[in-house]
């Protein structure tokens, strides 16, 4: 492994069918007022909302409702939530939902007492949280897997007016203090959202995997995570309530983006930049925006990282290398990945997400260029990839 790094992860995880009970252990650590963050109301239909509220009330908490968090949380919603948190002098933000709710909760936690415009400070200037800024603690009760937001400092916010969807990865102070992971809470998720989460997990891993050429322990860990995900996802799409498959996927999702496998890696993240541009223009589901642009991007950069793509084919997809060139092996690996994507039912092009030819120039303008991968893209290459993604 190359370079120097520091690894720290302060989030405490409670995993399993009885994990929600541990909320009773966490709540006494915080003050009386809890901002309850959730999405469109599905947790009220499946009973999770009532379970959480009952525990909050049993612990004497004052509940500040903050529902309606959209799949791609907007800056307007962030302002609304931050204002609510500040005026109610919230002591804990509890996100009950998927990655969008967790991201939003973390963004609110650092914005409520920020003296500047949080969008400009954190998402346009990419500044860190000032040392004297009060950060409201965050806890998560996960109901959808994919983002890994339950155990990292990332928070993605969308600005519909400027057509920008930007993620900022903050340090340890912004990580959730605790996260509750009950695989059965993911059972009621619609198949489309479930599949989107599965691809989001894989892409988090490949974004980190496709960088660097050294013999890196992180790469071996990632190969194991990907093999586990592929195996379990095939079971879950046929049997959504298979606890073993769903629990393995939930655990893989957390380890895919809790910063561990990034250690000693440069990391890429260009697929996320392409996908987030699509999301900013269409409001499409995050995992589907990633799946729709991935293959054209990876085929574009494959010649620049051929050795790793060959390894990916052999170690993740079991491609037999006998009698084949490195290029043939690598391409067969991507073909196997494509077949798996179709099997689990993710979007294979951006047209089905609502993108039209007239939107392509805007997508290019909204795409941030990263430098950690095998090839730093130019604007004309980004346009070419979006065209191939149609």
Tokens of 211: 């960088």
pLDDT of residue 244: 98
**Contacting residues for 234 by C-beta, under 8 A, at least 6 apart:** 340, 343, 344
- The average confidence (pLDDT) of the chain is 97
Residue 148, CB-side half-sphere exposure with 13 Å CA sphere = 24
pLDDT of residue 77: 98
SS (H, E, C) the chain: CCCCCCCCCCCEEEECCCHHHHHHHHHHHCCCEEEEECCCCHHHHCCHHHHHHHHHHHCCCEEEEECCCCCCCEHHHHHHHHHHHHHCCCCEEEEEECHHHHHHHHHHHHHCCCCCCHHHHHHHCCCCCCCCCCCCCEEEEECCCCCCHHHCCEEEEEECCCCEEEEEECCHHHCCCEEEECHHHHCCCCHHHHHHHHHHHHHHHHHHHCCCCCCCHHHHHHHHHHHHHHHHHHHHHHCCCCHHHHHHHHHHHHHHCCCHHHCCCCCCCHHHHHHHHHHHHHCCCHHHHHHHHHHHHHHHHHHHHHHHHHHHHHHHHCCCCCCCCHHHHHHHHHHHHHHHHHHHCCCCCCHHHCCCHHHHHHHHHHCCCCCCCCCCCCHHHHHHHHHHCC
Indicate the pairing of strand 12-15 with strand 33-37. unpaired
**pLDDT exceeds cutoff 80 at 2:** no
Indicate the Cα dihedral angle 163, 353, 248, 211, nearest 10°: -60
How many other CB atoms sit within 10 Å of the CB of residue 17?
12
Distances (CA, A) of 250 to 10, 15, 154, 200, 254: 19, 9, 18, 12, 7
**pLDDT exceeds cutoff 80 at 354:** yes
CATH of 12-186, one of 1.10.486.10, 3.60.70.12, 3.30.565.10, 3.40.50.1970: 3.40.50.1970
In whole angstroms, what is the distance from residue 14 CA to residue 19 CA?
A: 5
CATH number 1.20.1090.10 is the correct assignment for the domain at 191-388: yes
Report CA 265 to chain centroid distance, whole Å: 18
Q: Where are the domains of the chain?
A: 12-186, 191-388
pLDDT of residue 10: 96
Which residues are bridge partners to 116 per DSSP? none
Confidence of residue 1 (pLDDT cuts 50, 70, 90): confident
Distances (CA, A) of 153 to 5, 28, 168, 353: 17, 23, 8, 28
* Terminal Cα distance for the chain, rounded: 38
**Contacting residues for 338 by C-beta, under 8 A, at least 6 apart:** 295, 348
What's the pLDDT tens digit per position in 144-201?
A: 999 999 999 999 999 999 999 999 999 999 999 999 999 999 999 999 999 999 999 9
What's the pLDDT tens digit per position in 54-105?
A: 999 999 999 999 999 999 999 999 999 999 999 999 999 999 999 999 999 9
Confidence of residue 382 (pLDDT cuts 50, 70, 90): very high
**pLDDT exceeds cutoff 90 at 41:** no
What's the pLDDT tens digit per position in 303-326?
A: 999 999 999 999 999 999 999 999
pTM here? Answer: 0.95
**pLDDT exceeds cutoff 80 at 237:** yes
pLDDT of residue 238: 97
What's the pLDDT tens digit per position in 321-349?
A: 999 999 999 999 999 999 999 999 999 99
pLDDT of residue 381: 98
pLDDT of residue 40: 87
Which residues are bridge partners to 139 per DSSP? 94, 178
Q: Is 256 exposed, middle or buried (0-12, 13-18, 19+ CB in 10 A)?
A: buried
Is the CA virtual torsion 364, 370, 374, 376 positive or negative? Answer: positive
pLDDT of residue 124: 96
Q: Is 14 left (phi over 0), alpha (psi -120 to 50) or beta?
A: beta
Percent of the chain surpassing pLDDT 70: 100
In whole angstroms, what is the distance from residue 171 CA to residue 314 CA?
A: 35
């Amino acid at each position: 492994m190359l370079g120097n790094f520091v690894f720290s992860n302060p989030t405490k995880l409670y995993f399993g069918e009885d994990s929600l009970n541990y909320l009773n252990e966490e709540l006494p650590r915080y003050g009386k007022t809890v901002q309850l963050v959730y999405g469109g109301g599905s947790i009220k239909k499946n009973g999770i909302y009532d379970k959480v509220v009952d525990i909050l009330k049993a612990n004497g908490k004052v509940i500040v409702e903050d529902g309606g968090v959209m799949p791609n949380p907007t800056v307007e919603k962030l302002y609304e939530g931050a204002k609510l948190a500040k005026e109610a002098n919230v002591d804990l933000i509890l996100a009950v939902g998927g990655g969008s709710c967790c991201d939003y909760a973390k963004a609110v936690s650092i914005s409520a007492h920020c003296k500047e415009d949080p969008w400009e400070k954190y998402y346009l200037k990419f500044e860190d949280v000032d040392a004297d800024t009060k950060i409201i603690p965050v806890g998560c009760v996960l109901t959808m897997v994919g983002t890994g937001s339950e155990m990292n400092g990332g928070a993605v916010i969308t600005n519909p007016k400027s057509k920008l969807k930007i993620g900022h990865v903050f340090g340890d102070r912004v990580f959730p203090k605790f996260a509750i992971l009950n695989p059965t809470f993911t059972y009621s998720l619609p198949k489309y959202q479930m599949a989107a989460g599965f691809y989001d997990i894989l892409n988090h891993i490949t974004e980190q995997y496709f960088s660097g050429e050294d013999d890196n322990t992180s790469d071996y860990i990632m190969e194991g995570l990907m093999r586990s995900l592929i195996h379990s996802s095939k079971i879950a799409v046929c049997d959504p309530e298979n606890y073993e498959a769903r629990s393995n996927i939930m655990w893989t999702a957390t380890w895919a983006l809790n910063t561990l496998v990034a250690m000693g890696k440069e990391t890429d993240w260009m697929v996320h930049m392409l996908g987030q541009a699509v999301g900013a223009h269409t409001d499409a589901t995050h995992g589907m925006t990633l799946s729709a642009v991935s293959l054209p991007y990876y085929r574009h950069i494959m010649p620049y990282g051929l050795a790793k793509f060959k390894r990916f084919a052999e170690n993740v997809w079991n491609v037999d290398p006998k009698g084949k060139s490195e290029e043939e092996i690598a391409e067969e690996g991507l073909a196997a990945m494509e077949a798996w994507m179709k099997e689990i039912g993710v979007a294979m092009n951006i047209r089905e997400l609502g993108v039209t030819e007239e939107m392509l120039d805007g997508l290019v303008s909204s795409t941030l260029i990263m430098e950690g991968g095998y090839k730093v893209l130019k604007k004309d290459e980004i346009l070419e990839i979006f065209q191939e993604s149609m």
